[in-house]
Copies of this chain bind each other. A is one copy, B any other.
Amino acid sequence: MQTRLRSALIGATAIAVAGAVHAADLTPKEQILTRQAGYSFMSWNMGKIKSNLEGNFSQPQVQAAAEAIAGIANSGMGALYGPGTDQDIDDVKTRVKPELFTNQEEVGEVARNFIEAADNMAEVAAFGDEAEVKKAFGELGESCKACHDKFRKD
C-alpha cells in the first residue's frame, strides 16, 4: 500500500514535471515523431508481456518490458504536445484529436491513470506472480485504451 502511494506520488510529480520540460528544444514535427517513438516502443514492450502471458512466462523479460514502459510513461511526454503539434506536418501524420489540447482536466486524469497503471505493472513484474502480472497488464491496457478512445482518431 505504501509502495502504491509512492507510485501515485511519483506519477503526480511526473505530470508536474512535464510542464517544466523545454519543449522549445524540439520543433513541432520532432515533438510528434518523438511522442510516436515513445508509443511505438511501449507497444513493442506491451506485446512482449502479452506473449509471455500467452506462452512461456519469463519473469526477467516481463520485468524488463514493464520497466521500459514505466520509464517512458514517467518521462514527461506532455511536453511533446506543444503548440503546432495538433495537426499533420508535411509527411508526418498525427492521430491526436483537437480535444486533447483543450480538455486539460480529462487529459490530466487519463495521464495520471496511465502512469499509475504503468508503475503498478513494473512493481508487480518485479515480484513476478503470473496471475498478478496478468491483472496489472489488463489494467495497464485499459488505461491505454481510455486515452485512445477519448483522444485518438481511428
Contacts and interface: CB of A to CB of B under 8 A. Distances in A.
Interface residues of A, number: 35
Nearest to A30: B44
Q: What does DSSP make chain A's interface, helix, strand, loop or mixed?
A: helix
A121 to B, nearest CB: 12
Interface string A1-35: 00000000000011011001110011000000110
Contacts of A41: 34, 37-38, 41, 72, 75
A17 B33 CA distance: 28
B25 A64 contact: no
Interface stretch (A45-53, A82-90, A93-101, A103-111): A45-53
A25 to B, nearest CB: 6
